[in-house]
Every structure is written in structure tokens, then in C-alpha cells.
A and B are shown apart, each in its own frame.
Chain A
Amino acid sequence: MRRVTTLAAAILAGALVLTSCGGDDAAETTPKDDTGTSAAASDIKVGLAYDIGGRGDQSFNDAAAAGLDKAAEEFGVETKEAEASNGEPESAKEERLRALASAGFNPIIAVGFAYSASVVTVAKELPDTQFAIIDDSAAVGDNIANLLFAEEQGSFLVGAAAALKSEAGNIGFVGGVDVPLIHKFEAGYKAGAEAVNPDIEVQIKYLTQPPDFSGFGDPAKGKTAAAGMFDNGADVVYQAAGGSGGGVFEAAKDAGGFAIGVDSDQYNTADPAVQDVIITSMLKKVDVAVYDFLKTVTEDNFTAGPLTYDLEKDGVGYSTSGGQIDDITDKLEEYKEQIISGEITVPTE
């Protein structure tokens, strides 16, 4: 009995300490409340609720944070950020939204599909509060705006870039967690690569299965998976793996291959040591969406319902920093035109 108790305590305490260490990044970056620092001070208070990871993930959440910071600076809105805990129930997400609302924050932006059901519930309770949710169109209400992205279109273009750059006719895709959202990246990437070279081999690997979401924050896993692909003959690997992506870049560096970044222009944000392997990044402009949304709110122009950021709206795209794909941008632009005109329909699954 005592032996078991002590063992249990030791394991648990270890686990708790590790969990709290994991959250350190987010804890260090204290949210900004720049009230009145800008020219046009506004009395609007914006609440932003992240899913797990929060500010500091160098990816999706950071993009949302960037949009928020820009809006805070330009419109002088007060901002507040809150972040989900690992494995929390739906009721905790609802409560986070309620607590933000009762502290006077309006509008409230929910970052990530996990907030879908919670936003619906709380939006009904608080009809005077305006909500926006990113990556979800299932949450419908008179006071809910849905900010969506055509990730498959952007992924199509980087898929085409990978195939054009690949000499081996063998490329890879590393997904963070095996969820429908990431399947869209995979589907677009594959379609883009096959449009260039129908015989191309695409290796696919997801790092973790839900509810284990560590695949979005574990560079070691990303490195192992990508190294395996390079060993199997791939020469370009695209990652849609959030914080695990850094490992994919390292693997590419070690193997002398190339990598493709995701969400933001990772040539600029990644470790300078691996900069030269990042030939392009699939841009998912969450910052633009957040900024645009806040702009409509400050202009008293809130519109409920879905708004999709696609190639046409320049909400997704590819980056050219580093100049490594300058030789193929003409081709990529051609594909882009064809997608916008509807000549090419990119699959989402």
C-alpha cells in the first residue's frame, strides 16, 4: 500500500511539473493591454480565447496574436487573451467565454474549432456580445462570425512547388495531429503535387492521434518522422504540424533536403540555422482575418456568418522569402489563376 502510494505520488508530481513546464512559453509572454498607446483610442475591449498552446507556438496561435496586436496598435482597442488547459471539458471553454464577457470584453474571438459548441451555447446566452470563431462554420448564430480558410488551395500550390523542386519524384507530408483540419492540408498538397507529376510518390505521416495533441508541439517527433521520409528517398517535406515543424526543418538540414513551412512565412520565423532549407511556406493568414474582423467591429460593421479566406481573397498563399522558388513562381501563379477561376477544384479530403 505505502509503496504504491509513494510511487503514485512521485509519478504524478513529475507529470504535473512537466505539464507546468510545458506551459512556460505561454506564461512568459504576458498579454498586452495597450490602452491609449495609439492615436485612435477606442473603448472596445477585445477578448481572445486560444485553444491549447496559446501565444508562443510560432504558428497558428501566434498568427492570431499578431492580428490582435496589429489591431490593438491601430485601433487602440483593449485586448485580453486566455488559453485552454489540456484535456479540459466543454464546460470550461464555455466558462472562459462567459468570464471574458462578464469582464466586459466584446467582441470575443475564439481561436480554433474546439470552441465550436461552446461559442454556440454562450452566444445564445449573451445575445449582445459579438463572437468570432476561427476554423469553424458549424457554429451558427446571429452574433457569430465564422472566419474560415481554404487551406487546401494554399497547400495545392506548395504541393506543386514540392513536385517541381523534387528531383527524386518522392516527397513527404508531416501532419501534427490526425484531425480533419489537417487532412485538408494533406489533400491539397497531394493534389498539387500530382497535378505536376502524376507518378509522384507522397509519403504521409501524422505524429499523434487525438486526444493526444502533443503532435502540434513536439519537435522531436517531427524530426524523427521527417528523417524517416528523407531516408526513404524523399527530398522535399511539407509540414502542417505547428510547433513540431522545427524538427522537420532540422531533419531536412541533416539530410540535405528541403522543407516547406506552414501558416506563417517560416523562412523569417524559424531558427536561422535551418533557414536555407525552407523553400517556401503555405501562408494561412489568420492575422489578416483577425485584423479584418476587428476592423469591421470598430467600424460598427459586424457581420454574422461565414467568411472564407481563400486564394482569391489572398487569405491563403505561398511565400517567396529566400528566393529558392523564384524559378517556378510563374508556374505557381498559373495554378493559382486556374484555382481562382474555378478551372481546378482542389479536393478537401
Chain B
Amino acid sequence: MSVATAAPRVDLRRLGITIAAPTLAIVFSLLITALILISTGDPVMSTLDQVWAYGKQPRVIALTVNQATTYYLSALAVAIGFRMNLFNIGVDGQYRLAAFAAAVVGSSFELPKPLHLFVIVLVAMLVGAMWAGIAAVLKVTRGVSEVISTIMLNAIATALIAFMLREVAVEVAGSNNIGTKPIAESGALPGIPLIPESPLEVFGFIVVAALAGVAYTVVLGRTRFGFDLRATGHSESAAVASGVNVRRMVIVSMLLSGAVAGLVGMPQLLGGASRSYSLDFPAGLGFTGIAIALLGRNNALGMAFSALLFSFLDASSIILDINDISKEIVLIMQGTIVLSVVVAYELVRRYSIVAEQRRVSRQLAEEQASARPKEVST
């Protein structure tokens, strides 16, 4: 009976701890930001005021949600690796190569709309998985750390795209930009007028991102595969002992991570105005994804909030710049959040271990205390 009543109380406390850490981190980074603002002679309150007034415009909200959609997919891809104790730094190269391949394939033919979209997304996922798969194969066959190999693969992806873009690029007359042939209208994913009064629509791909978040939670939390994956992440030897094929898990989880990474470029490619992969296709989203996965603690909902926070900060850099406040403050803030969230989690983790030890020892002491009188009486 005591177990049954104790369980929800512990869960509540754990929830409190889970939320406490990121909140602490954000408050801490706000403090640092405030200090920097003061040291550069910018008024703190009016700066935050400007950011808030700008950020709550419907147009900017739509912009924030759109950027968050891309960030979220990137964070999901990273988180799949994290849960397995794999550090996939290569999400960046994976999504760029995937988006490039999808743009080339998608622009080479026309199909009825849903099918065309499906093919493009499928190509992106396959290419992303394949690129991540190289790192996985190297790891299980040669023991190459995925940290090293994925960083290398990022650089190789950059060179590969630059080379192939020259081969397939169509030049737009008078432009100094080059890109792939635009994908036909049948490959366009219409936006959703989600934000009232906003002239901008939200990427239609937000639906896919939300579904991916749900699938992530269900697969990792509710299936045998997810259990094996988390078990391997916690302790490889324990996983082996309970019959998990670790090599297979490394391959499968890297492939999954890469496939999700393949989705990262899709909102822009299918929902953007140009529908092509050009020189100015957004880069570096894979690294932002790492930060967001850390802040969101690999939790589907937590990462959604983190993605929104990061894209809100990104949007605010535009207005800061225009208001003569150096926009690098946003980078500093994002950096501080990531660093302090890790520190906060570590502190909270140590605190909860100590608290748990105290609780157990108190319980033991109570049991002993209640047992002792009996001993005396006999």
C-alpha cells in the first residue's frame, strides 16, 4: 500500500526537478544577458520590452513557429542518438545532403500531388539514413567513434554538394545564386493559416513534425525496440547480458536518426518560395538541434518548447540589430542556456541522489527503531 501511494508523489517530485533545471538555466542566462546589456550601456528593461513587443506580432509568431518546426525535427534526430548514447554531430551534413538529393530527384519529374510529396520526403529520409549509416557501419565494424566520423562526414557532404550542385545547377539569368531546378507545383506543400491576422502561413510540414514527435515518444517509451535502445544507452554491458544485439541497435538507431535528419530540410524545400536547393539554403540547423535536444532533455514536449524558445530568440536578433543593440547577445544567451542547463541538470541529479539516499536511510532507521523495542522485550 505504501508503494502505491509513494509512486505518484515521487513522480510529482521528479516532474518538479525536471522543470526546475531548465527554468534555472533560463533565469541564469537572462541574468547574464542583463549583465552584458548593462556593461554595454543598453537599458535592460526597454530592450526586453522591445523584443517582446516585436515578438508578439502575428507575423513574427508565424516566423517563429516556422523556424521552430525545422529546429524541432533536427532536435528529434539528435535525441534519437542521445538516448542510445550516440552523439550524432552529423545531422547537419545529413539534412543538407538529403535536402539536396530530394531537390534534385523531386524536380526531375511531376506526379500527382500527394505521391510527389511522398517521393521527395522518402528520398530525403533514405539519403539522410544512408549518410548516417556510414558512421554507424564504421563504428560497429572498425570501432570508429561516431563523433569523429560524423564531423568528417559533414565536411564531405559540404564538398559533395558543392561539386554536384555545379553539375546540376540551373542558372537564373542575372542572378549570382545557383540552385537546383525548382520542384514543380505538384511538389509544393501548402502552408496553414495557423496564426490569426498573420500575412505569413505556417509550414504545412508542422503536421509531420508533430507526428514525428508523437512517434518518437511512443516508439522509445512504449515498445520493445525503444526499451532495448534506452537500455543500451544506459549500460551496454547490461543490455548485452539481457540479450540485446548492441551492434544491430547502433546501426538501426543511427539509420533512424539519419532518416529523421533527412526531414529537417523539408519544411523549407517544400514550403519555401523557391522550392530549390540553392547556395543560400539554410545551414547549421544540425548544430542548433543538438542545443535544443540538450535543453529539452530529449523529451518530445521539452524539445518543442526549446525549439520555440530558440527560434524566438533568433527572430529577436533581427529587431535588436535594427535597434542598434548588438544581436550577438542572442548567441551569448543561447550559449549560456545550453551550458547552464547541463550544469543545472548535473546539480539536480546529484541533489536527487543525495535526497534519495537520505530518504532510504531515514526509512531504514525508522524500521530499525521500530524493530528494536521488540528485540529488547524478547
Chain A interface residues toward B at CB < 8 A: 1-9, 11-13, 15-17, 19-20, 23-24, 27, 30-31, 33, 80, 82-83, 85-92, 95-96, 98-100, 103, 113-114, 116-117, 121, 125, 135-138, 146, 178-181, 209-212, 306
The interface residues of chain B lying within 8 Å CB-to-CB of A92 are 63, 67, 314-315, 318
Let me know if A87 and B174 touch, CB within 8 A.
no
Q: How close is A20's CB to chain B, nearest CB, in angstroms?
A: 4
Let me know if A95 and B315 touch, CB within 8 A.
yes
In this assembly, does B20 line the interface, its C-beta being within 8 Å of a C-beta of chain A? Answer: no
In this assembly, does B85 line the interface, its C-beta being within 8 Å of a C-beta of chain A? Answer: yes
The 4 closest A-B pairs by CB, nearest first: A137-B174, A209-B162, A16-B335, A138-B175
Let me know if A95 and B162 touch, CB within 8 A.
no
The interface residues of chain A lying within 8 Å CB-to-CB of B359 are none
Residue in B closest to A31 when the chains form the complex, CB atoms: B324
Q: In the docked arrangement, what's the CA distance between A306 and B177, Å?
A: 17
Let me know if B85 and A4 touch, CB within 8 A.
yes
Q: How close is A208's CB to chain B, nearest CB, in angstroms?
A: 8
Let me know if A138 and B174 touch, CB within 8 A.
yes
Given A87-B283, A209-B162; A5-B294 close (CB under 8 Å): yes
The interface residues of chain A lying within 8 Å CB-to-CB of B173 are 137-138
Let me know if A12 and B177 touch, CB within 8 A.
no
Residue in B159, B171, B326 whose CB lies within 8 Å of A180: B171
Residue in B60, B326, B335 whose CB lies within 8 Å of A95: B60
In this assembly, does B274 line the interface, its C-beta being within 8 Å of a C-beta of chain A? Answer: yes
Residue in A11, A90, A306 whose CB lies within 8 Å of B274: A90
In this assembly, does B257 line the interface, its C-beta being within 8 Å of a C-beta of chain A? Answer: no
Let me know if B82 and A82 touch, CB within 8 A.
no
Q: In the docked arrangement, what's the CA distance between A6 and B199, Å?
A: 41
In this assembly, does B12 line the interface, its C-beta being within 8 Å of a C-beta of chain A? Answer: no
Let me know if B339 and A100 touch, CB within 8 A.
no
Let me know if A27 and B326 touch, CB within 8 A.
yes
Name A's interface SS.
Answer: helix
The interface residues of chain B lying within 8 Å CB-to-CB of A116 are 175-177
In this assembly, does B96 line the interface, its C-beta being within 8 Å of a C-beta of chain A? Answer: yes
The interface residues of chain B lying within 8 Å CB-to-CB of A113 are 175-177
Q: Mark B336-378, 1 if CB is under 8 A from A, else 0.
A: 0011011001100000000000000000000000000000000
Q: Mark B267-288, 1 if CB is under 8 A from A, else 0.
A: 0100011100001111111010
Q: In the docked arrangement, what's the CA distance between A103 and B322, Å?
A: 9
Q: In the docked arrangement, what's the CA distance between A87 and B317, Å?
A: 14
Let me know if B335 and A20 touch, CB within 8 A.
yes
Residue in A11, A23, A30, A96 whose CB lies within 8 Å of B324: A30
The interface residues of chain A lying within 8 Å CB-to-CB of B63 are 91-92, 95
Let me know if A4 and B279 touch, CB within 8 A.
no
List 5 contacting pairs A-B, 8 Å CB cutoff, sorted by A.
Answer: A9-B339, A33-B324, A86-B284, A136-B176, A178-B162
Let me know if A179 and B287 touch, CB within 8 A.
no
Q: In the docked arrangement, what's the CA distance between A209 and B283, Å?
A: 13
Given A1-B233, A15-B287, A138-B175; A87-B282 close (CB under 8 Å): yes
The interface residues of chain B lying within 8 Å CB-to-CB of A98 are 59
Let me know if B338 and A9 touch, CB within 8 A.
yes
Residue in B199, B290, B327, B338 whose CB lies within 8 Å of A85: B327
Pick from A87, A125, A212 the residue with the most CB of B within 10 Å.
A87
Residues of B201-217 contacting chain A, CB below 8 A: none
Given A20-B335, A95-B63, A137-B174; A114-B280 close (CB under 8 Å): yes
In this assembly, does B107 line the interface, its C-beta being within 8 Å of a C-beta of chain A? Answer: no
Let me know if A12 and B290 touch, CB within 8 A.
yes
Q: How close is A85's CB to chain B, nearest CB, in angstroms?
A: 6
The interface residues of chain B lying within 8 Å CB-to-CB of A91 are 63, 66-67, 200, 272
Chain B residues bordering chain A, tally (CB within 8 A): 69
Q: How close is A205's CB to chain B, nearest CB, in angstroms?
A: 14
Q: In the docked arrangement, what's the CA distance between A210 and B282, Å?
A: 11
Q: How close is A279's CB to chain B, nearest CB, in angstroms?
A: 28
Let me know if B283 and A211 touch, CB within 8 A.
yes
The interface residues of chain B lying within 8 Å CB-to-CB of A80 are 322
Let me know if B331 and A23 touch, CB within 8 A.
yes
Let me know if A121 and B85 touch, CB within 8 A.
no
Let me know if A117 and B67 touch, CB within 8 A.
no
Q: How close is A105's CB to chain B, nearest CB, in angstroms?
A: 9
The interface residues of chain B lying within 8 Å CB-to-CB of A83 are 321, 327
The interface residues of chain A lying within 8 Å CB-to-CB of B324 are 30-31, 33
Residues of B297-343 contacting chain A, CB below 8 A: 314-315, 317-319, 321-322, 324, 326-328, 331-332, 334-335, 338-339, 341-342
Q: How close is B304's CB to chain A, nearest CB, in angstroms?
A: 19
The interface residues of chain A lying within 8 Å CB-to-CB of B34 are none
Let me know if A82 and B335 touch, CB within 8 A.
no
Q: In the docked arrangement, what's the CA distance between A211 and B290, Å?
A: 20
Residue in B171, B282, B294, B328 whose CB lies within 8 Å of A20: B328
The interface residues of chain A lying within 8 Å CB-to-CB of B283 are 86-87, 211-212
Let me know if B233 and A121 touch, CB within 8 A.
no
Given A113-B177, A125-B199, A209-B158; A85-B287 close (CB under 8 Å): no
Q: In the docked arrangement, what's the CA distance between A210 and B326, Å?
A: 26
Q: In the docked arrangement, what's the CA distance between A19 and B163, Å?
A: 26
In this assembly, does B134 line the interface, its C-beta being within 8 Å of a C-beta of chain A? Answer: no
The interface residues of chain B lying within 8 Å CB-to-CB of A86 are 283-284
Given A86-B284, A113-B177, A138-B173; A27-B328 close (CB under 8 Å): yes
In this assembly, does B184 line the interface, its C-beta being within 8 Å of a C-beta of chain A? Answer: no
Let me know if A87 and B87 touch, CB within 8 A.
no
Residue in B163, B177, B321 whose CB lies within 8 Å of A82: B321
The interface residues of chain A lying within 8 Å CB-to-CB of B161 are 209
Let me know if B318 and A96 touch, CB within 8 A.
yes
In this assembly, does B260 line the interface, its C-beta being within 8 Å of a C-beta of chain A? Answer: no
Residue in A closest to B162 when the chains form the complex, CB atoms: A209
Q: How close is A189's CB to chain B, nearest CB, in angstroms?
A: 17
Residue in A closest to B323 when the chains form the complex, CB atoms: A103
Let me know if B174 and A306 touch, CB within 8 A.
yes
Let me know if B321 and A7 touch, CB within 8 A.
no
Q: How close is A34's CB to chain B, nearest CB, in angstroms?
A: 13
Residue in A closest to B81 when the chains form the complex, CB atoms: A4
Q: In the docked arrangement, what's the CA distance between A100 and B59, Å?
A: 14
Q: In the docked arrangement, what's the CA distance between A9 and B159, Å?
A: 27
In this assembly, does B147 line the interface, its C-beta being within 8 Å of a C-beta of chain A? Answer: yes
Let me know if B318 and A82 touch, CB within 8 A.
yes
Contacts A16-B335, A86-B284 aside, 4 further interface pairs with beta carbons under 8 A come to A1-B233, A90-B268, A137-B175, A306-B174
The interface residues of chain A lying within 8 Å CB-to-CB of B282 are 87-90
Q: In the docked arrangement, what's the CA distance between A136 and B178, Å?
A: 12
